[in-house]
Amino acid sequence: MANLAIRAENVGKKFVEVMSRYPDDPSVSEAILHGAVSQTAEGIRVIGVLAVKDGKVKEAMDLETRRMLEYARAIEGFRYCIDVAYDVVEAMGVIEMKSPV
């Protein structure tokens, strides 16, 4: 257990370092959720949610990829996935409907 605690602390320190090196850019996106942290059978899972400004998807992807590559270089076994999705209002607009929320 001590090893897990040390790894968790090192990951936390890496998060602070990465966010200092690659801070949020409010002209590109707004963090809705910086990180929801849970445990899985494989380890720790962190989910972040960003609201990306119109026309800024590439910039947001570049920033997140730079962050993820920093983690991948420092954390053995690190894996990441970046998903891009509509919010419900945008999705309803695609099918020419108005969202009730």
pLDDT at position 75, please? Answer: 92
Query: pLDDT means per 10 residues in the chain (101 residues)?
Result: 77 95 97 91 90 96 97 93 93 94 88
pLDDT at position 78, please? Answer: 93
pLDDT at position 1, please? Answer: 56
String of b and e for 43-69 (b: at least 16 CB within 10 Å)? eeeeeeebebeeebeeebeebbeebbe
- Give which of 95, 91, 87, 94 is closest to 30, Cα–Cα: 87
The answer regarding whether domain 2-94 maps to CATH 3.40.390 reads no
| Cα distance between residue 65 and residue 2, in whole Å | 31
Pairing of strands 29-39, 44-52: antiparallel
pLDDT at position 65, please? Answer: 97
